[in-house]
């Protein structure tokens, strides 16, 4: 990885390209060797495809109800059965994947963006650092689900607000990671040198410090993605997430719990989907981290390292 | 090895922590001793009744709240001068007799020798203080009584004088919900706006303990003096066959369902409608009790639905069979029909306007929408999942109206947010809400312009006034029949969807349960 | 050491201040208020206003905040609007089930995780190893409320072996207490178990690579007893660290699990209080949980420092 950067002053394009292709091969080999990561990646891509194209394939509209057919068990007509309004569970799960993955993705992107900005600037300016880090300490000290529930109660129910609330919850974690990487980069001689040469702080931050933080940021973002999906599901399950009657996996579980004595399928199928999504992302993230930063032992998420100073 | 010793310390620490937790748990619940007092074998009196309640009451002072959880628990220990019998007639309870002079001057002769739980006798000064506090808090009472007050005539006599005659005030004084609980004078006088915290009443059970979010504990009041009459609704003799009653607070319906099946509870409240069939197959006694009307309320005060044509269009479109099947589930436990008063309420019950109920007529609905000039404006239904059947109905209604070509959005809030939100009449168009039965039509909330979202209507006002001012019961009834017809055909502040039950389920050894304005838990015996 | 502890405690104060402000603001911009919940749906605006006044809810928000936080510094978290009892009392009542649940979950997690981790390390690279590790991964990927639902479905509804919900205090007997706690504890402990199993495996492997183990092995010490006698003991430190660090998350994770099983713990208390807009309780409990969380972490760090002299607490 590091070597990729040395190509700036070499002109031997042939060597360069063979080197590059060899590196690519090594990387591919490394990736393929990590079977779990590949499996995770594939499952996750399949889920994304399901969210994108699945709605075109299902037979029923997720809102269409035949009340007289409520709570029918899986059958040829309704492959996964129907819910308590007589809506087709399969199409609700398929449409629900849009809500759940969509929330996870948006939260990962938004919190990465804000976390990146906050992390970079607080690594660069001492005073700002004190203020921002106290705030993120505070936010991180409140249990995530609780904070999200309180925020949802305050903001009111809508998918947009779920995304806002979860982004507020997860941004500090990204900011922490970015900041700790950025801090160590900042101390390096070449940054000192640039500063001595009078480079603007904007330039230093965005052109020289930021690129170093991207890899850990991406790893962290995949974990945020899966955590956000879990939290969304939990919020919807508690009735304060994606507003019903729009399908989301958590919403289906909410309805399922009420009829858990009558309809096992309403709990089991969305449950499997959540497990698949979360597990595939975790596998992928673990592998990605091993790939990017082999020093970090697997088995422990970096998230919220309280001792990073 | 130093390391080893430290591990030991750690383990000890963990073990100690566990022990502490264990001890705490032990002490905490030893105090209630709930598991100890088992019922005496085979006898009609004695024993403990464990009831699973669906919500924690906001307060046990019924005077300040309309909460039904407060009503059902508070009336174990508090009583009022008058109560409703099973036919919704005001009947004396703590009053021996009421002299009614032309619906304007009332004299209440109190029963003598009624003891408070603190051992003092109830006298006129207690009643005066309690009733004057009550009439400040209860909306209709404060409107009718105004600045007049209950006054002490002698130790056992209290009087009330009104500026104008009111045929309704007796009914309001007997109201089951926010009832005029009689308590000792100094407690009533020192009560804050959020209610009393010292619970001293005259009822057959006295208050022992309220473990927040866990249980409310009552025990038999030994000095209680029941009336001689047979029990009849809330009226008549109240007895206390069981020694102790625990109301366990179990807001989660599957907990109540599981608990009643495992024998953890003897009686459970408001079980999910979907569990009805399953429960019927068990040995448990299932008593569905019609509890109120589920109303699709239109915001006739403001916005799109201030146009009666819009309301009529929606009313014409609804397929109520489908709505009820999804929300109230089992036709054996709900009823349909246009009648807005309780079926047993012989004075008022009528099916006037029946032809406008459950029309399911798309064509008519479209035509009415055209007449109203509806052009795809967004229609907002607000609801809550805290009452699952409101939510379920709302979802089906949304779907039906969408199929009609209306642009309907559904917004789900938690209950406190929703009650706040509906006060803002520009924020919503429709909501499904439940209304418990009222003794007379003038108390029906969704017909009153003082309720948020109910628009003022001259004809309705006129009819309501003529009910209130009618000289005879027949006249009043005729006016109400006309009113109900008008409600269905044109006025439509709401569409009554159906009449829902609460599922009360109890073990087969529980006898004497009666439902009248909520479950009644005195006169119940445990015979195991 | 003492100065380190002091420093840590001092550094927690700004965090707690931030927490208190954040949670106070969120709660007070939330629609709905305790007065209208207490009075019921049919109350008039005047009655609500009167009650608000008597509860002090009509004061400017900063004034409310300062009067609250002043009380907090004296150990008074305020009085519940709804229950009219001190918030500290509500917390004291509901912390017992939560701690009971958390400890039981932790025990279950350890009982499952350590054998799995040790076995996996012992049979490194085998099918058993990888299947155990996949199992651990699965455990980490199931949100606890979902596992709770699935367990309820299987053991409560289908098999009918265990109660689906509810809580029995310890005073009614240990057995019945645990019977009600077992499903919640497994739901809550699964993630813990997965974490600990992975940690056990990797730290044993690490120890196995050390020279003294290699020499012991060269001397002919049997593999399994090697693991038990030497490797496991030295791998305990990182394991205990994980246990400690995650105990805080166990308590907070209980929030959702308690809702599924209707356990009257601290999580239920918060959720109920939000539902009732009982501002005082929400503020108090969130602050309390935060303090607990910070405190637990501090204890773990201190213990860690006492156990392992290499860890210098006062380093920057």
Which domains, and CATH codes, for chain A?
31-308 (1.10.3720.10)
Say which residue, B125 or C72, is predicted with more confidence. Answer: B125
Tell me if chain C has a CB within 8 Å of the CB of B260: no
Mean pLDDT confidence for B253-270: 84
Q: Which of residues 368-427 of B touch C (CB under 8 A)?
A: 386, 414-417, 419-421, 423
Q: Residue C30 pLDDT more than 70?
A: yes
Distance (Å, rounded) from C-alpha B328 to C-alpha B396?
A: 12
pLDDT at res. C310? 57
Contact list in A for residue B432 (CB cut-off 8 A) is none
Residue B414 distance to chain C (closest CA, Å) = 7
Confidence of residue A8 (pLDDT cuts 50, 70, 90): low
8 A C-beta contact, residue B411 and residue B398: no
Residues B279-326 pLDDT 10s: 888 889 998 888 889 999 999 998 999 999 999 999 999 999 999 999
* φ, ψ of residue B409 in degrees (nearest 5): -115, 150
Classify domain C92-315 by CATH number. 1.10.3720.10
Q: What angle do CA B365, B366, B371 make, to 5 degrees?
A: 95
Nearest to C42 among B26, B262, B445 (CB): B445
Residues B139-180 pLDDT 10s: 888 888 989 999 999 999 999 999 988 888 888 899 888 999
Tell me if chain B has a CB within 8 Å of the CB of A245: yes
Say which residue, C15 or A167, is predicted with more confidence. Answer: A167
Confidence of residue C302 (pLDDT cuts 50, 70, 90): confident
> Which region among A284-298, B391-405, C271-285 has the lowest average model confidence (pLDDT)?
A284-298
Distance (Å, rounded) from C-alpha C25 to C-alpha B227?
A: 54
Mean pLDDT confidence for C202-219: 77
Enumerate the β-bridge partners of residue B150: B160
pLDDT at res. C49? 81
Q: Cβ neighbours of residue B130 under 8 Å, at least 6 residues apart? A: B63, B180, B181, B182, B183, B185, B188
Mean pLDDT confidence for B375-389: 90
pLDDT at res. B28? 34
Confidence of residue C203 (pLDDT cuts 50, 70, 90): confident
Residue B324 distance to chain A (closest CA, Å) = 9
Mean pLDDT confidence for A63-92: 87
8 A C-beta contact, residue B31 and residue C13: no
Enumerate the β-bridge partners of residue C251: none
| CATH for B292-501, options being 3.40.50.1000, 3.40.50.150, 3.30.499.10, 3.10.105.10 | 3.10.105.10
Q: Residue B115 pLDDT more than 90?
A: yes
- Whether ipTM > 0.95 holds is no
pLDDT at res. B21? 41
Chain B: touching chains (3 or more CB pairs < 8 Å): A, C
pLDDT at res. B394? 94
Would you state the torsion angle of the CA atoms of residues B465, B471, B476, B479, taken in this order, to the nearest 10 degrees?
-60
Chain C: touching chains (3 or more CB pairs < 8 Å): A, B
8 A C-beta contact, residue C173 and residue C137: no
Residue A65 distance to chain C (closest CA, Å) = 25
A225, two tokens: 């993605």
Residue B215 distance to chain A (closest CA, Å) = 23
Distance (Å, rounded) from C-alpha C234 to C-alpha C92?
A: 38
Scanning chain A, the segments in alpha helix (DSSP H) are 13-33, 35-57, 89-124, 126-141, 144-155, 159-186, 189-196, 201-203, 210-237, 249-258, 265-292
Q: Residue A294 pLDDT more than 70?
A: no
Q: Residue B204 pLDDT more than 50?
A: yes
A135, two tokens: 């705030």
Beta strands in C35-146 (DSSP E): none
Task: Tell if the CB–CB gap between B326 and A70 is shorter than 8 Å.
Answer: yes
B249, two tokens: 């607070």
Chain C residue with the nearest C-alpha to that of B136: C47
> Which region among A233-247, B105-119, B338-352 has the lowest average model confidence (pLDDT)?
A233-247
In chain A, the largest separation of any two C-alpha atoms, in whole Å, equals 77
C123, two tokens: 């049979």
Contact list in C for residue A173 (CB cut-off 8 A) is none
pLDDT at res. A179? 92
Chain A: touching chains (3 or more CB pairs < 8 Å): B, C
Nearest to C303 among B10, B35, B259 (CB): B10
Nearest to A134 among C15, C26, C198 (CB): C15
Distance (Å, rounded) from C-alpha B35 to C-alpha B452?
A: 47
Distance (Å, rounded) from C-alpha C238 to C-alpha C24?
A: 37
In angstroms, the Cα distances linking A115 to A210, A230, B352, B425, B487 are 12, 20, 65, 41, 58
Scanning B251-408, the segments in alpha helix (DSSP H) are 253-262, 276-280, 308-317, 320-327, 362-372, 388-403
pLDDT at res. B44? 65
Q: Residue A143 pLDDT more than 50?
A: yes
Q: Which helix (H) or strand (E) holds C27?
A: helix C2-29
DSSP C172: G
Sorted by where each begins, the domain ranges of chain C are: 92-315
3-state SS class at B383: strand
In angstroms, the Cα distances linking A281 to A11, A228, B29 are 40, 11, 45
Q: Residue B18 pLDDT more than 60?
A: no
Mean pLDDT of chain B: 86
Mean pLDDT confidence for B184-192: 92
Contact list in B for residue C85 (CB cut-off 8 A) is 212
Sorted by where each begins, the domain ranges of chain B are: 2-266+507-526, 292-501
Distance (Å, rounded) from C-alpha C118 to C-alpha C102?
A: 24
3-state SS class at C140: helix
Task: Tell if the CB–CB gap between A65 and B253 is shorter than 8 Å.
Answer: no
Mean pLDDT of chain C: 81
pLDDT at res. B368? 95
Task: Tell if the CB–CB gap between A240 and B417 is shorter than 8 Å.
Answer: no
Mean pLDDT confidence for B357-386: 93
pLDDT at res. B430? 96
8 A C-beta contact, residue A104 and residue A278: no
- Please list, residue by residue across B1-38, b when 16 or more beta carbons sit within 10 angstroms of its beta carbon and e when fewer do: eeeeebeeebeeebeeebeebbebbeebbeebebeeee
Percent of chain B with pLDDT over 70: 92
Q: Which of residues 231-250 of A touch C (CB under 8 A)?
A: 233-234, 237-238
CATH superfamily of B2-266+507-526: Periplasmic binding protein-like II (3.40.190.10)
Mean pLDDT confidence for C203-209: 79
Q: Residue A204 pLDDT more than 70?
A: yes
Tell me how crowded residue A293 is: count the other CB atoms within 10 A of its CB: 13
Distance (Å, rounded) from C-alpha B213 to C-alpha B92?
A: 34
C82, two tokens: 């709804």
Q: What is the three-state SS of A109-170? A: HHHHHHHHHHHHHHHHCHHHHHHHHHHHHHHHHCCHHHHHHHHHHHHCCCHHHHHHHHHHHH
Contact list in B for residue C40 (CB cut-off 8 A) is 58, 65-67, 70, 178
Q: Cβ neighbours of residue B419 under 8 Å, at least 6 residues apart? A: C32, C36, C37, C41
Contact list in C for residue B64 (CB cut-off 8 A) is 38-39
> Which region among A290-299, B423-432, C100-109, C132-141 has the lowest average model confidence (pLDDT)?
A290-299
Q: Residue A307 pLDDT more than 50?
A: no
First to last CA, chain C: 14
Confidence of residue A10 (pLDDT cuts 50, 70, 90): low
Q: Cβ neighbours of residue C2 under 8 Å, at least 6 residues apart? A: none
Q: What is the pTM of this model?
A: 0.80
Q: Residue B6 pLDDT more than 70?
A: no
3-state SS class at B154: strand
3-state SS class at C154: helix
* φ, ψ of residue B232 in degrees (nearest 5): -150, 100
pLDDT at res. B391? 92
Residue with tokens 């490394």: A30
Q: Which of residues 12-71 of C touch B (CB under 8 A)?
A: 30-33, 35-45, 47, 50-51, 54-55
- Which of A96-105, C56-65, C199-208 reaches the highest mean pLDDT? A96-105
Q: Cβ neighbours of residue B40 under 8 Å, at least 6 residues apart? A: B46, B47
Chain C residue with the nearest C-alpha to that of B264: C166
| Burial tier of B246 (Cβ tally within 10 Å: 0-12, 13-18, 19+) | buried
């Amino acid at each position: 990885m590091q070597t990729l950067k040395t190509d700036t002053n070499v002109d031997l394009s042939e060597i360069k390209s063979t080197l590059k292709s060899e590196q690519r091969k090594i990387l591919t080999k490394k990736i393929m060797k990590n079977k779990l990561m590949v499996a995770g990646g594939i499952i996750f891509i399949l889920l994304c495809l399901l969210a994108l194209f699945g709605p075109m394939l299902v037979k029923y509209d997720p809102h269409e109800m035949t009340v007289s057919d409520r709570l029918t068990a899986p059958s040829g007509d309704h492959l996964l059965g129907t819910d308590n309004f007589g809506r087709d569970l399969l199409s609700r799960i398929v449409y629900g994947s849009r809500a759940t993955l969509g929330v996870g993705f948006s939260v990962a992107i938004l919190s990465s963006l804000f976390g990146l900005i906050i992390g970079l600037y607080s690594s660069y300016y001492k005073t700002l650092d004190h203020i921002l880090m106290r705030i993120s300490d505070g936010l991180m000290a409140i249990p995530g689900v609780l904070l999200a529930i309180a925020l949802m109660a305050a903001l009111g129910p809508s998918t947009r607000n779920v995304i806002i609330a979860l982004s507020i919850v997860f941004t500090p974690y990204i900011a922490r990671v970015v900041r700790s990487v950025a801090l160590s980069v900042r101390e390096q001689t070449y940054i000192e040198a640039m500063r001595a040469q009078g480079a603007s702080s904007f330039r230093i931050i965005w052109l020289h410090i930021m690129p170093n933080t991207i890899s850990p940021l991406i790893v962290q973002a995949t974990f945020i993605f899966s955590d956000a999906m879990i939290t969304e599901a939990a919020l919807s399950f508690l009735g304060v997430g994606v507003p019903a009657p729009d399908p989301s996996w958590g919403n289906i579980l909410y309805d399922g719990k009420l009829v858990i004595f009558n309809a096992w399928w309403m709990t089991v199928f969305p449950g499997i989907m959540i497990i698949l999504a979360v597990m595939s992302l975790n596998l992928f993230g673990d592998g990605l981290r091993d790939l990017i930063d082999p020093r970090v032992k697997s088995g422990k998420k970096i998230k919220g390292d309280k001792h990073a100073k | 090895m130093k390391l080893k010793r430290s591990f030991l310390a750690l383990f000890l620490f963990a073990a100690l922590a566990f022990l502490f937790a264990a001890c705490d748990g032990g002490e905490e619940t030893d105090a209630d001793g709930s598991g100890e007092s088992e019922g005496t074998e085979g006898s009609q009196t004695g024993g403990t009744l464990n009831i699973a309640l669906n919500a924690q009451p906001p307060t046990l002072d019924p005077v300040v709240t309309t909460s039904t959880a407060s009503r059902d628990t508070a009336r174990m220990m508090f009583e009022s001068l008058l109560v409703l019998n099973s036919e919704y007639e005001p009947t004396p309870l703590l009053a021996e007799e009421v002299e009614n002079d032309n619906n304007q001057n009332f004299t209440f002769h109190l029963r003598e020798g009624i003891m408070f739980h603190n051992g003092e006798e109830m006298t006129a000064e207690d009643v005066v203080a309690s009733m004057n506090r009550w009439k400040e808090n209860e909306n209709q009472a404060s409107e009718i009584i105004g600045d007049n007050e209950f006054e002490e005539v002698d130790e056992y006599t209290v009087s009330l004088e009104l500026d104008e005659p009111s045929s309704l005030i007796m009914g309001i004084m007997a109201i089951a919900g926010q009832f005029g609980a009689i308590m000792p004078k100094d407690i009533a006088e020192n009560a804050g706006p959020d209610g009393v915290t010292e619970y001293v009443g005259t009822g057959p059970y006295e208050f022992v303990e309220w473990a927040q979010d866990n249980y409310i504990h009552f025990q038999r009041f030994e000095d209680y003096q029941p009336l001689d009459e047979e029990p009849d609704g809330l009226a008549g003799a109240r007895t206390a066959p069981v020694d102790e009653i625990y109301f366990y607070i179990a807001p989660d319906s599957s907990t109540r369902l599981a608990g009643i099946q495992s024998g953890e509870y003897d009686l459970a409240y408001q079980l999910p409608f979907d569990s009805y069939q399953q429960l019927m197959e068990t040995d448990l006694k299932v008593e569905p009790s019609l509890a109120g009307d589920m109303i699709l309320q239109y915001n006739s005060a403001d916005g799109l639905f201030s146009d009666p044509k819009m309301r009529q269009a929606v009313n014409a479109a609804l397929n109520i069979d489908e709505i009820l099947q999804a929300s109230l589930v089992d036709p054996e436990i709900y009823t349909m029909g246009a009648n807005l008063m309780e079926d047993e309420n012989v004075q008022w019950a009528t099916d006037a306007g029946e032809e406008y109920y459950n029309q399911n007529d798309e064509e008519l609905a479209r035509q009415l929408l055209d007449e109203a000039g509806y052009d795809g404006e967004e229609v907002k239904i607000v609801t809550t999942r805290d009452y699952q059947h409101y939510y379920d109905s709302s979802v089906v209604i949304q779907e039906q109206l969408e199929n009609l070509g209306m642009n309907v959005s559904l917004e789900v809030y938690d209950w406190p947010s929703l009650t706040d939100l509906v006060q803002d009449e520009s924020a919503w168009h429709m909501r499904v809400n439940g209304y418990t039965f009222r003794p007379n039509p003038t108390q029906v909330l969704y017909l009153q312009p003082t309720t948020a979202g109910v628009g003022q209507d001259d004809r309705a006002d006129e009819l309501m006034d003529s009910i209130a001012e009618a000289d005879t019961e027949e006249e009043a009834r005729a006016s109400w029949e006309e009113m109900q017809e008008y409600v269905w055909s044109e006025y439509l502040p709401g569409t009554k969807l159906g009449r829902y039950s609460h599922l009360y389920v109890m073990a087969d050894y529980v006898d004497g349960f009666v439902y009248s304005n909520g479950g009644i838990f005195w006169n119940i015996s445990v015979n195991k | 050491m003492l100065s380190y502890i002091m420093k840590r405690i001092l550094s927690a104060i700004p965090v707690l201040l931030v927490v208190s402000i954040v949670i106070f603001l969120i709660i007070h911009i939330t629609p709905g208020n305790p007065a209208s919940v207490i009075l019921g749906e049919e109350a008039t605006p005047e009655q609500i206003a009167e009650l608000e006044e008597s509860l002090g809810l009509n004061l400017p928000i900063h004034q409310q905040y300062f009067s609250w936080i002043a009380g907090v510094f004296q150990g008074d978290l305020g009085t519940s609007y709804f229950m009219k009892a001190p918030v500290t009392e509500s917390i004291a009542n509901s912390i017992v089930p939560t701690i009971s649940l958390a400890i039981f979950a932790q025990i279950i997690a350890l009982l499952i995780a350590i054998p799995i981790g040790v076995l996996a390390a012992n049979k490194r690279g085998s099918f058993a190893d990888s299947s155990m590790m996949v199992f651990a991964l699965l455990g980490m990927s199931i949100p606890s409320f979902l596992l709770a639902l699935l367990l309820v479905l299987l053991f409560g509804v289908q098999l009918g072996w265990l109660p689906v919900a509810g809580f029995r205090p310890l005073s009614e007997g240990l057995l019945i207490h645990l019977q009600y706690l077992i499903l919640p504890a497994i739901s809550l402990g699964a993630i813990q178990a997965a974490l600990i199993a992975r940690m056990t495996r990797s730290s044993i492997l690490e120890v196995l690579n050390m020279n003294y183990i290699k020499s012991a092995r060269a001397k002919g010490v049997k593999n399994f007893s090697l693991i038990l006698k030497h490797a496991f003991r030295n791998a305990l430190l990182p394991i205990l660290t994980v246990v400690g660090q995650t105990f805080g998350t166990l308590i907070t994770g209980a929030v959702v699990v308690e809702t599924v099983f209707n356990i009257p713990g601290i999580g239920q208390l918060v959720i109920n209080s939000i539902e009732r807009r009982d501002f005082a309780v929400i503020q108090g409990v969130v602050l309390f949980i935060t303090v607990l969380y910070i405190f637990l972490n501090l204890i773990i760090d201190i213990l860690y420092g006492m156990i392992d002299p290499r860890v210098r607490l006062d380093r920057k």
